[in-house]
Amino acid sequence: MSASYKLRRGLDIPLKGCAHLMTAPLASSPLYTLKPCDFKNTTPKLLVREGDIVRAGSPVYCDKEHPGILFTAPVSGTIQRIVRGEKRKITGIQILADEEQMQEQFPVADPEQLTPERIRELLLQSGCWPLITRRPYGIPAHPGETPKAIYISCFDSAPLAPQYDYAFADSYESLRMGIQVLERLCPGKVHLGLWEMTSPHSVFRRLPGITHTFSGPHPAGNPGVQVHHACPVGKGQVVWTLSPMGLSIIGKLFLYGIYDTTRMVAVTGSALARTGYISCQAGIQISALTPFPLKDGIRARIISGNPLTGDNVGPDGFLGFHHQQVTYLPEGGSRELLGWARPLRLNKFSAARTYISYLAPLLGKTGRFNLDTNTNGGLRAFVLTRDYQKVLPMDIFVSHLIKAILAEDIDKMEQLGIYEVLPEDLALCEFVCPSKIEIQDILQKGIDLMIKEMQ
């Protein structure tokens, strides 16, 4: 059944640097990288060696625990380097791209004429299966299980997030085909989460499926928050989630028989001279985003993803597999005289309204802030406050859950809702935390412990 939800708790961080609605030409780079760390709880088993030739869609590695789950090359080229970290852990597989791209060809098929088993086989062979995320735990879905429901959030409410109506304006056919594929895997239980203000002419309004509408501040666009309200997950239950980007990639596989990871990426941040959108493949090197230069004299932190949950990759880093945003923030590091005790502070944002800057709209200002990466404080004692509950529209006691994780109390973690949350859902809690605790890292360690104990 379709429903509408008005979420009152949350926080929209008013950052400067939203992507302008202009699209740069397709970007390419000499190097592309597949990063196993983009997929939680997977251990890579290499299927290639340095010097091997691959096509877009060729298997590069598989998961040791589930060898049927293949991770395939986003572009054609030569395996240039296997990057290893501590204890020879594989941290990246670098591909030197060909000038003329070659694609692996898969069968073009009507999902209505295929069995669910055959559809799963095609998704696994092509490398599209890792696009499906399993909740609980936020790991690639298990091929042998049937979910309670499949959920797709059709908007992103994170700071400086891309506007999906613009980014997917020309993707209706691939999105519709993706929905048809998923309906064969989970009949009648594909849910779409739409922003309340989504235009009636949006491609997402025309897609089939059970539609839910949401309004309210971030994290209203998070799949975890929407699933919590529309189809909650409990112990022993599984929900699959996808992004519209993943849905489109699956649709293109069945429409054209190719594995095409092209996505429109929002290049954002106040450290840039100009912002906008650019089309590129997964794993592209960040330095290839040349149409968007930095402002003169600014040191920037380059983040693959949004400012709350993205990865600090640097100028020589690579775009994450699941990311559709790159953020450039001014690098902090300077100390401020008197700190929070300074009067007025019209240029500083405070979630608790500590500064008079919250009156900026009344003073004729834009109400957006040029924030840098300073944390404005250091780690301190874990203080119990109600700050977490103000920014999390879920019935979860964050302080108690974090303490249960630190104590490694499995029963308490279950009772306090660890099955329902991923680190991205508690990112705002970390942002407003007066104790400067790394809540996302702690939650991920708790999830890893649950996976280990429940195997």
Specify if 450 maps to a domain: yes
CATH number of the domain to which 53 belongs: 2.40.50
Specify if 452 maps to a domain: yes
Specify if 393 maps to a domain: yes
Preceding peptide of 219 cis, ω within 30°: yes
User: At CA 20, angle to CA 196 and CA 99, rounded to 5?
Assistant: 115
Specify if 199 maps to a domain: no
DSSP state of 79: E
Q: Of 8, 106, 31, give the one whose Cα is nearest residue 280.
A: 31
Question: End of a domain among 46, 79, 97?
Answer: 97
pLDDT band for 344, please (50, 70, 90 cuts).
low
Specify if 81 maps to a domain: yes
Task: Please say if the pLDDT value at position 357 is more than 90.
Answer: no
User: What pLDDT does residue 362 have?
Assistant: 53
pLDDT in tens, 142-188: 999 999 999 999 999 999 999 999 999 999 999 999 999 999 999 88
Specify if 419 maps to a domain: yes
pTM (predicted TM-score):
0.95
Residue range of the domain that includes 444: 377-455
Question: End of a domain among 76, 97, 118?
Answer: 97
pLDDT in tens, 16-34: 999 999 999 999 999 999 9
Q: How many domains does the chain have?
A: 2
Q: Of 106, 207, 80, give the one whose Cα is nearest residue 155.
A: 207
pLDDT in tens, 51-98: 999 999 999 999 999 999 999 999 999 999 999 999 999 999 999 999
Q: Of 246, 255, 284, 239, give the one whose Cα is nearest residue 164.
A: 246
pLDDT band for 136, please (50, 70, 90 cuts).
very high
- Neighbouring residues of 409: CB distance < 8 A, sequence distance ≥ 6: none
Question: End of a domain among 62, 78, 97?
Answer: 97
Task: Please say if the pLDDT value at position 339 is more than 70.
Answer: no
As to burial, measured by CB atoms within 10 angstroms (0-12 exposed, 13-18 middle, 19+ buried), residue 6 is exposed
Q: What is the mean pLDDT of the chain?
A: 93
Positive or negative torsion for Cα 232, 234, 238, 240: positive
CA distance 293 to 306: 18
Specify if 264 maps to a domain: no
Specify if 165 maps to a domain: no
User: What pLDDT does residue 345 have?
Assistant: 67
